[in-house]
Structure 1
Amino acid sequence: MTAQTRTPSTVDADGNWVRPRPGVAGMHTDGLLALGIAVGASLAILLYASAEFFDEPPVPWMAALVVLGISGPLVWRRVAPITVTIVISIVYVCAIYNQVPEVLFSNIALFMAMYSIGAWSSSRRHALIARIVVVVGMFGWLFWELTRATFDTSLAPEGSGIGLIAPGVALGLISVITNVLYFAGAWAFGERAWTAARERAELEARTHELEAERELTAAQAVELDRVRIARELHDVVAHHVSVMGIQAGAARRVLGPDAPSGAVTALGSVESSAREAVDELHRLVTTLRGIGGEGDASDGPSTRGTAQLAALVDDVLAAGRTASYSIIGERQALSPIVDTTLYRVGQEAITNSLKHAGASATMDVRLRFSTEQVELEVADSGHGTRAAQKAGRSGGLGQIGMRERLAAVGGSLEAGPRRRGGYLVRATVPLLVGERAADSGEEASS
C-alpha cells in the first residue's frame, strides 16, 4: 500500500490552479440570480419611465431585449465569465444610447459579471487581460461622454450660471466615481473568491493526503508488529533447534563404533536438519528486518518476560499514578515465547491505560497461574473521558498487535469496558500449548 499525493485540481499553462466547473446546484443558483435581476430590471424600467428618466418612453421590445441581455447571460457566469461580461457590457451601452431607462440592475449585473471573471475564469492570464480590456473600454466610453458633456450647456436651466463645474461634467464625474468603485470592488472581490476557493481545494487535498498517510501508517504499524512477532519466534525457535542439533551431535559421538548404523544415521540427519533450519531462520529474520526497516537487533524481544512486569508497575508508580501488582497461584515456568508475549501484552495494556484512563485512575495488574492456563489482567478505574477511551482503546492497532501475539502462542485476548467502570484487558494462554506439552515430552523421554 502506497500513499498517493492528491493535487487540488489541474493547472493552466502558467502553472496556476484551475477552479473546477460548478455543479448543478451552482447553475440553479445562477438561474435564480438571473431571474431576480430580470424581475428587478423590469420593475426599474417601469419606475424610471414613470419618473420620465428619458424624454421618450422606452420601446417595449427594446426594453425586453435589454432585460434579457443583462439577466440571461448570468446563468453562465461561472462557465464562461469573460463572454458573459462582454455581452452584458455591450447591452448596457446599447441600453443607454437607446434611452432604455435602466441603470440600477444593469450595474448590478455588470458587477456580478466582472466579479465572475476573477472568481471563475479558467485562466488567470485571460482573466487579467479581459478585465483590463473591459475596464479600459468602459472608462474610455465614460471619458468620451464626459468630454462631450463638458461643452453641453443644455443640462443647465435657462438663465442660470454655469457655476464652478458644468452640470454635464458633474454628472460625468459622478458616473466615473461610481464605476471606479464598482469595477474596483468587482475586481478585488473576484480575486479574493478565487484565492479562497484555491485554499479550500488545497486544504481538501491535504486532508486526503493525511488520510492516505494515516492508512499507510496503520498498515505499516501492523506489518512492523508482525515482524517483531516473527523475530521473537525466531529467537525462541532457533535456540531450541540449535540445542536439538547439539544434543543430536553429542549423542552420535557418544554411541561409539558398536552402535547400530541406523541410529547413527538418524542422529546425523537430525543434526544436519537442525543446522539447516537455524540457517533458514537466520535468513528469514534478516529479510524481515530489512522489510521492517529495523536492522538493529539490540532490542531482542526474548530478553524480557513476566519477571519484568513488576518493573513496569514501578514505572507507573514513579509517574505519580496509583497501581498495584500481584501474582495469584503458584508460579510456573513459562516457555520463552509465552513469557515474552505476556510481557509485551502487559506493556501495551499499561501504556494504553496511562494514556486514556485519566490521571486519577487506579491500575491493577494481576498475573494468575492455574493448572491449565496463565492469565494476565490489566484493569483500571477509567476516570478519563469516554471519548479518549473510545478513540484510543477500542479496536486500535495496539489491540490488533496484542491479539496477533497471543494467537501465535495459542492464546486469546479480552478487552473492553468493565461493568463497574474502567477498562479491562485480559490475556489468556493455555499452558498445554507450550509448557505442559514440553513437560510431558521430557517425562516421556526420561
Structure 2
Amino acid sequence: MVAVNDRSTLSCTAAAAGVLLAGGLEFAMQDGLQESGRGPLVTLVVLGTALAVGLVRRIPAASLGLVWLTAIGQAATATPFLLTQAAWAVIAFGLARWGDRAVLWASAASIVAGPVVAVVLIGNDLVWLDPPYASRNLFESTVDHLGLGWRIGAGLVFGVLLAMPWLGGLTLRISRRARIDLDRASRERARAEEVARMRAAQTRLARDVHDVVGHSLAVILAQAESGRYLPDDDPAALKSALATIATSARASLGDVREVLTATGDTTDDLDNLIDNLRAGGHEVVSGHDGTPRALPEPQRAAAYRVLQEMLTNAIRHGLRGGALTVRRIWSSDALQIEVRNGIEPAPGDRLSSPGSGSGLDGMRERLATVGGTLSTGVRGEVFVVTARIPLS
C-alpha cells in the first residue's frame, strides 16, 4: 500500500510539473495574454492550478480549496480562463478517488456549482479577451448546436468535462473498497478455519484424555473403596490393593503422556506447529536465543500445548491481518516462550484485561504441573504472553 501511495504521489507531482510547463508555454504563445497586462495574475492562476494538482493525492481538501480560490480570484480580477486549466479534470478525478467522505460530497457539489458559476462569468464578459487568444463566437456557435441555448449549453459542456473524470475516480474508489472488503472477508474466513481446526484438535485431545483417565480412575476408585473393608490384620491384602492402585495410576500417567505428545494431525515439534500456522495463511515471525535442546517428556508436552493455546488466542484476539511474533529463549535452566500480537483498535475486540480469560487460566494450570509460570501484559498496542518452563 505504501508503494502504491508513493507512485500516486509521484504521478501527481509529475502532473503538477506538466501544468507549470503548459502554463508557461500558453502565456508565451498568446500575444493577447501578454498585452493584457495580466501576466502576474495569469502566473498565479497557473501556480494555483499546479499546486492543486500536486496536492490532490496527499491533501485533497486543500486541492479543492485551491481550485475554488483560483476561480474566485479570476472572477474578481477578470483574469481569463486558460487552456492549462483543463488540468481541473485531473483534480476532479483525484478528489473522487482519494478524498474522504466530506471531500467526496463537496467535490460532487462543485461539479454542479462550478459550471453554473463559469457560465455566469462567461455571459458577463469577465473571462474573454479579444482574438486571437480566444474566439467567443466560435465557442458560442459550438455549444449552440446543443439546441438548449447559450448558457445551458456551455454549462452542460463544462459540467460533463468535469463529471467524466470524477465518475472515473469514483469507480476506482468503489472497486478498491470492494477488493479490500473481499480480502478482509477472506482473511476472516481463513482465521476462523484456523481457530476451528485448532479448537477441534483441543477437543479431540480432551476426549482422548477423558477416555484414558476415566478407566484408570475407575479402577483406582474401586481398589480404594475395597481397601476400606479389608481386615485390619491382613497387611498383605492391603499392600496388594495399594500396589494395584499404584500400577493403575502409573499406567494412566503413561497413557496421558502419550496422548499429550501425539494429536492426530499435528506433530509434537514446536517448529512444525509454527510452520502449520504459516501454511494456513498467517504471518508468523519466529526466532530463538540460546542453544535448543531436547525437553523431558512432561515439559515437551506442556511447551507444545501452551504454544498452541498462545497462538490460538493470538489469532482470535489479535489485530486482523497482523503478524504474530514467536520467540524462544533457551537458558541453562529454563525455556521461555514469548508470543506477541497486535491488539485490535476497537475496544470490543480486545481481551478484557491482561491475564484474564479461560484460555490463559488453562495455560497457567498446565504450566504449573511442570513448575512453570505464565505472564501477560500490554506494551503499547501489543499484547505479550510469556511462558517459562523449567528444564529440570
Normalising by the smaller structure, the TM-score range is 0.3 to 0.5
Superposition TM-score, scaled by structure 1 size: 0.43
- Rg larger in structure: 1
Superposition TM-score, scaled by structure 2 size: 0.48
